[in-house]
Structure 1
């Protein structure tokens, strides 16, 4: 399946900037999304948008897409991308043609799986010697344990094998790699930023995108992880404006990859922010063990 959250967020960036969207899939017809929360505002808005739902329920087959009719292609992620898109030669041809006619190519999360086998007219891989990112090995091992062994390859490894200059940020924080007209994003949190970068690449001045509560909260986390110790103050002083339970869960996972005293200190601070909202004995125990480790 594909990630409905990523589709919804990207779609509204494009729609709000006056960009007409068509939808394609390997077989065409109705496409299946991975499990998602239909009550999230951006998903709920898509579900009542009759025009785009009609296109989702009757997608174009990739072998019927006329690349000359498009200025850009955007590939959403989801586990299905890892199974279907690397073998979709029709999609690869569309991507290569759009890129070579000076169009823009963008993909997010597992979406860059569509790029691993794309070759240009000179026989080189599209991603070779270009700044690229995608869902990382670290994220896969932390969040993809249920399906990781079913993949034919790790996406980060395959992109690097194809000659890409792979770059990334911390787990689940927004990161966009821009190399001319090739734009890639690391994870679902990166979706709005990737879509906005694509709008810019088309020569448009994007309107301000409304961030979801999750993305707004993780943007604060990113500032804190980058070294801004005061970044957490809004979460503490105005908890109703953020998703503090999300912060606590992030701290829990950040702890799993902690190596340095600073990592442990930051993990602890994040878990403490979310402790009350989570009210979870497992988080309480992790907090206590981390405090003990740090001698607090």
Structure 2
């Protein structure tokens, strides 16, 4: 590894690829994010949750970490919850916050000094990272020198135009994943119309073998030294696989509550009865609202009877805790799909009794007469 003389503050913080003998990882962030004078997001940037989750893994495993972006300086994140434990931990990490406010320009980095690249997602990469030539060159060079190249969620957008020295696209004939078309339909309504392409479509167009799990379920795909994660809930496991690919045995960390919740949701959607019992016996360990919202979206996009049944079960498990008419009406819709008209009617009538002005409930009840 090359050594450069850098400011003492950087060396002390170990936020530089030149800091020591530990493997180094460059975390790439979009520079597309922009705020207006009122502090409102008018252009999407990077996903802070993904940054903090991956950073937590890399820091725990002793990696040297560098933050980089096309423009350098302080990139803008999409709106995020500062109260989430992993975000709180990052924001209380002074060296991390300092480094994030002064990211390196990607064009300043030398692939010969880099062991791994990790591209953070968010909608921003769909606008700037996919067409940033210095990043394309960096990724290709790191990959060809047997470094680890990785990305999560929309981060793989940075790979779509990367070509190797043989003229082939990086992702050609490789197993990769990223934010799926189905997930775009469910969660990308605001910015999707402005995309130049859909990530799943473009990766396939480039010859990738696109793999995926269900809607917003954790899925990490490894193909040699190319590692990709499907969505935000895949972030921590993607970072863990990067650590493993660098030749280290990853430190065991307690899972984030939302990741733990979605892992259990995946088991319930796979029909594992023990997962239902686990939730019922340990509800305090899981994010009830996340289970409920998963049920709503799984039901919305369900194409098979089995998927409908399992999504309905998620709603039934959380109905009393959530106690919200939106969940109840979705549960009623699930019962309708199951041809349980009387159960659907009973749920809708209960909503009208407690919320007599709910127009959607009245319309649904009319359809059940």
TM-score after normalising by structure 2: 0.79
Which structure 1 segments of 5+ residues have no match? none
Q: How does 1:235-246 map to 2 (within 5 A)?
A: 235-246=279-290
The residue that corresponds to 1:32 in the other structure is 76
Q: Which among 153, 157, 163 is matched to residue 113 of structure 1?
A: 157
The residue that corresponds to 2:143 in the other structure is 99
Is the contact made by 1:192 and 1:209 (CA closer than 8 Å) also made in structure 2?
no
Is the contact made by 2:73 and 2:104 (CA closer than 8 Å) also made in structure 1?
yes
The residue that corresponds to 1:248 in the other structure is 292
Q: Which among 147, 166, 169 is matched to residue 213 of structure 2?
A: 169
Deviations 1:58-94 (A, max 9, x none): 0000111111111000000001110010110001111
The residue that corresponds to 1:6 in the other structure is 50
Q: Which among 124, 128, 140 is matched to residue 168 of structure 2?
A: 124
Distance apart, 1:26 and its partner CA? 0.4
In structure 2, C-alpha distance between the alignment counterparts of 1:236 and 1:140, rounded to whole Å? 31
Confirm whether residue 55 of structure 1 aligns to residue 99 of structure 2: yes
Is the contact made by 1:249 and 1:274 (CA closer than 8 Å) also made in structure 2?
no
The residue that corresponds to 2:222 in the other structure is 178
The residue that corresponds to 1:140 in the other structure is 184
Deviations 1:93-149 (A, max 9, x none): 111111111100000000000000111001100000000000000000001111110
Is the contact made by 2:269 and 2:311 (CA closer than 8 Å) also made in structure 1?
no
Q: Deviation above 2 Å: which 4+ runs of structure 1? A: none
1:39 alignment partner, SS class = coil
The residue that corresponds to 1:44 in the other structure is 88
Is the contact made by 2:225 and 2:245 (CA closer than 8 Å) also made in structure 1?
yes
Deviations 1:260-289 (A, max 9, x none): 211110110011112122211121112123
Confirm whether residue 69 of structure 1 aligns to residue 113 of structure 2: yes
2:222 alignment partner, SS class = strand
Confirm whether residue 214 of structure 1 aligns to residue 258 of structure 2: yes
In structure 2, C-alpha distance between the alignment counterparts of 1:198 and 1:293, rounded to whole Å? 42
Deviations 1:231-286 (A, max 9, x none): 11121122111111211110000011111211110110011112122211121112
In structure 2, C-alpha distance between the alignment counterparts of 1:74 and 1:293, rounded to whole Å? 42
Distance apart, 1:295 and its partner CA? 3.5
2:227 alignment partner, SS class = strand
1:52 alignment partner, SS class = helix
Larger relative contact order (Cα-Cα within 8 Å, sequence gap ≥ 6): 1
Is the contact made by 2:46 and 2:124 (CA closer than 8 Å) also made in structure 1?
yes
Asked which structure has the greater CA Rg, the reply is 2
Is the contact made by 1:235 and 1:244 (CA closer than 8 Å) also made in structure 2?
no
Is the contact made by 2:106 and 2:135 (CA closer than 8 Å) also made in structure 1?
yes
Deviations 1:6-51 (A, max 9, x none): 0000001001001010010000001100000011111111111111
TM-score after normalising by structure 1: 0.98
The residue that corresponds to 1:227 in the other structure is 271
The residue that corresponds to 2:317 in the other structure is 273
| RMSD over equivalenced CA pairs, Å | 0.9
Which structure 2 segments of 5+ residues have no match? 1-44, 341-369
In structure 2, C-alpha distance between the alignment counterparts of 1:201 and 1:231, rounded to whole Å? 30
1:272 alignment partner, SS class = helix
Matched length: 296
